[in-house]
Amino acid sequence: MTSVTDTASSLDQEHHHGPAKGLMRWVLTTNHKDIGSMYLWFSFVMFLTGGAMAMIIRAELFQPGLQIVEPAFFNQMTTMHGLIMVFGAVMPAFVGLANWMIPMMIGAPDMAMPRMNNWSFWILPFAAVMLVSTLFMEGGGPNFGWTFYAPLSTDYSPPSTTFFIFAIHMLGVSSIMGAINIIATILNLRAPGMTMMKMPLFVWTWLITAYLLIAVMPVLAGAVTMMLMDIHFGTSFFNAGGGGDPVLFQHIFWFFGHPEVYIMILPSFGIVSAIIPAFARKHLFGYTSMVYATASIAFLSFIVWAHHMFTVGIPLIGELFFMYATMLIAVPTGVKVFNWVTTMFRGSMTFETPMLFSTAFVVLFTIGGFSGLMLSIAPADFQYHDTYFVVAHFHYVLVPGAIFAIFAACYYWLPKWTGHMYDEPLAKVHFWMSFIGMNLTFFPMHFVGLAGMPRRIPDYALQFANFNEISSVGGFMFGTTQLLFLFIVIKCIRSGAKAEAKPWEGAEGLEWSVPSPAPYHTFTTPPDVK
């Protein structure tokens, strides 16, 4: 996709080793663009893998009664789907976008540590293969949910759990190295004149995300290490029979897990903050407030972890603290939504595919935010906890939030990456099929959740049948549509029309560089009115 001689680090590689050819070029590359491309392709393969598991889940839940898989395998699918989507699809995709765009956005020749960049990528395929291979081991793969609560994951787990723990460690090491590299690049390699408050918001959101990663990945490593000790070395960290506490696991896991949720959404904020101003032909409204809002969200994400644990019996004062702290996150998030909407207000908007995905992001992510606010209310959460309402909430945050933003970024930057334009009409079909499929899948889950359908079950009562049928049809629609995305990207790379130097400028005959005259405010008197 790009020449290996693009950057100083790659020239260094050629000088010492001669030009790398064919497959070895990709194995040895230190070029940020090559590595970014590999991250993106890897994440798409994982996206399809995790998606196939979701299809099995939705096929089983199409109607009540056992249909296609055994309950034990269903549990393995729910576990692996979550783990693969979080660690294999969403996070590597954002790291791929960071690799591609951050050096170019700040005027750097490459990432600060190109060889470590290569290493942090190549750990991923091995970790992913190890994770997926657990499904083929004796006793099957992990069957205890993607949150792997002890003692279910320690005392009652299949033998493959040890390999699962090792895979999680490797994924964490990769994330930490990628984060260190991003921080070093942003702080040290900015072009002269590129001050912190002039950086594009995508760079800001990734800088903050990288600090989050470094803070929380060791916490996850600690949790799985204690699991390993409980399984093999006779310790009792999470075993009440030996003086341990199963709730301790939940505290440690969610101290990692809640900031992790924001790790998967903050880069989306940066992407959307780049795309909406472009297609509204206006500067982003409230840049400074966006930076501070992002930092506020990151800080607050560390002090709300126990809102996942309202039902474990924490003291009332604890419930109140975590309830109010969680509600507080709605403030900086609301600032962001306000700024995006205000940026669009009275802009000369056109709706090419990146803008469609970004607009859908704002609307649907807000719905996910509102259901999150409902879940933050402790007494109400006792009713919602472990129902499909929770599943609906976090999928409304992660599918339109993370995945739609990744699609928007790919369409927006594909002309820059490949030199070719993608097929716009086909891309719009991809958007509308994804939009309709996603809402058909997850909106009915709010209703079955409020009616009492528990999550993570392979079978359910008859009264939930109709909504589950709609969800399954929507799920298959959303899943198969992603094959169209694959076709659009390959077609763009191989035979797309040549992209112009500024591909979005002339999209509808509007020049970004010549903004239309500012409209009169509705609250002032125009000069021609006496």
Task: Name the token pair of 279.
Answer: 């297609």
DSSP per residue, 419-432: SB---HHHHHHHHH
Within 110-157, where are the H helices? Answer: 114-133, 152-155
Residue 224: name the closest of 270, 266, 200, 257 by CA.
Answer: 257
Chain center to CA of 359 = 17
- The verdict on whether 174 is a catalytic residue reads yes
Told to judge if 308 belongs to the known catalytic residues of this protein, a careful annotator would answer: yes
Burial class (CB in 10 A: 0-12, 13-18, 19+), 209: buried
CA distance linking residue 29 with residue 34, whole number of Å: 7
Choosing from 230, 260, 319, 423, which is the catalytic residue? 260
Q: Is 455 a catalytic residue?
A: yes
- Catalytic residue, chosen from 34, 60, 110, 230, is 110
230 belongs to the catalytic site: no
Catalytic-residue membership of 175: yes
Peptide bond into 151 cis (omega under 30): yes
Query: Is-contact 297 371, C-beta < 8 A?
Result: no
Of 161, 301, 333, 441, the catalytic one is 333
* Residue 131 tokens, joined: 């994770």
From CA 40, how far away is CA 486, in angstroms rounded? Answer: 12
**Which amino acid belongs to residue 268?**
S
As a whole number of angstroms, the distance between CA 529 and CA 408 comes to 43
Which residue out of 153, 268, 273, 326 is catalytically annotated?
273
Please compute, for residue 232, the number of CA atoms within 13 A of its CA located in the half-sphere on the CB side. 13
Whether 198 is catalytic: no
Choose, from 32, 33, 81, 393, the residue flagged as catalytic. 81
Give whole-number Cα distances, 184 to 154, 351, 412, in Å: 38, 36, 26
Q: Is 333 a catalytic residue?
A: yes
> Of the listed 175, 185, 418, 434, which one is catalytic?
175
Cα(398)–Cα(394) distance, rounded to whole angstroms?
6
Q: Is 530 a catalytic residue?
A: no
Query: Of 56, 234, 256, 60, whose CA–CA distance to 148 is shortest?
Result: 256
Choosing from 282, 336, 395, 430, which is the catalytic residue? Answer: 336
Secondary structure (3-state) at 329: coil
Which of 119, 146, 287, 512 is an active site residue?
A: 146
Point out the catalytic residue in the list 9, 29, 30, 174.
Answer: 174
Residue reference for tokens 């097929």: 423
List 32, 190, 282, 307, catalytic entry: 307
From the list 26, 206, 262, 422, the catalytic residue is 262
Cβ of 350: how many Cβ atoms within 10 Å? Answer: 15
Is 434 among the catalytic positions?
A: no
- Active-site choice (25, 416, 428, 455): 455
Which of 32, 58, 190, 258 is an active site residue? 258
Active site residues: 81, 110, 146, 174-175, 258, 260, 262, 273, 307-308, 333, 336, 455
